[in-house]
Structure 1
């Protein structure tokens, strides 16, 4: 059974008077791994639940493999969902949990056992088949939940923050497992997370959501390098992008700490300049800032500055020797600056390259 494309067309979802998802248009290619990324309450889990059939859209259509599924029961949509809580049956063994969907389908016992052995081998669960969920670690329970989804061989896998209950080391391990699993199966994966690292490392494309609306849908590198608006710019990246508010006049961005030449077409007066911490060059340049906080992380130092009354974060080497209170010169990489309309918050692309 092959993967399937998934389409959200003008999907709107309200709970009473509260809008959870607004006019969502999303076309997911067959076999693609996409992440719905955003803060709590942005509509990502509601979108996933509508795709699963656990919620119904107020308006719009959802299609799987070209078939509109708005009125199709969850069990007949050819999707499988892995929940944040794993939702394992506590009274069943690992083997019984994995086999349960096949039992509901009426498969013979011998065939169920063969399928369970296949999945257990794939997920390295062979030695755990007779255990109960309470006897398993969080990572093992997560793999059992995946196994129960895999055994159905669905066209689309839906994963709702499945790694959020794991510690940092195990999350990193399971990210690698999921990447390999997606590669080997070739099925469509729709993954919900608030963790940008998960989205950036695993996804073919990321759908960034805010307030029930889609803000950008693009490959991870594009979301990072060319954020579509101020929300995406500030949400993606650790530490996030610096946003400096100022005015545009006479072909220049004016801020109390700096004046930078730009040549955009039709630039509004009120603008915001975005710059990643790695593109703030400390120890050189015409601008000055006061060091407020120095955070050594081992391989580098995160430096928080005051630049003309605005906070500015930079990355420095572990041996930078910077101290709070000192004044340091800095510059900004001219080819790595981003300009946004402060009123609409949208990216301003119609500009020439910045001149140093």
Structure 2
């Protein structure tokens, strides 16, 4: 569930506190990694400002790593902050401070655990945002008459809330729009001044019907795929990026910027489109533009599985449907190709 930090932390020197806890190791075997926490804590926060309400629904995971391992070796729980207490912390901090974005809430929780409990070495908080958007009423064709009905096309039966143009946002009604998921991981270590803040996009599924090709690849005795000069291109984008600067960034705006960059490089101009000679090239152009546009991002990683749509062969059915087929395709989810790359600023290579 938890993302792996893209920037691996530099090993911190042995601290007195760490040395004191080495005596917890009573056997010939050593615990080399450990931690515990509460996963899938669901919280909904409603901000009520007059008639206009704003909601954030998150699924939160909190994991702590203690200096001591005596709970493992000796069954001594005196340092354990119960996972139930971690769950309560999520709700209480949401009540006390409100919720702004996955990143800000994860930072708030991680800082709390390190500040509150001196025996906690590391806090890792994972937050996934549920994609709620305000219900929108189309103003140009239908008008709410205030009597429980709509004035407009009687065939609609009620107001048209599906339009994306010229919309009026509802004050307190929302619709679930799972186009893509916004998540964040924050890792804070007491002995590492550089906090790790990762944002991510998960499950962004896209498809275009032309301007995608794949030609001139290795031609040997194992190849059966012909050159693809014009094919359907469909993928499900998973993308994560790490910030080197968290003070000057608007996390929600940055997340939307990355999403828009991915869509732009995939789709291109609405009327003309954009040519894609490979999934690799489209992926690289997206990552490069993110680093160009967002100086606070130090490294970005992206995965694009190639969701295949194969042309249905109609050559044996010419009496039924004569001619070539370029309209009917067979969706094939498995197996699928997987393309991924991580792009980093050159001055960070030594730290990755």
TM range (shorter): under 0.3
TM-score, length basis structure 1? 0.27
- Between structure 1 and structure 2, the one with the greater Rg is 2
TM-score, length basis structure 2? 0.27
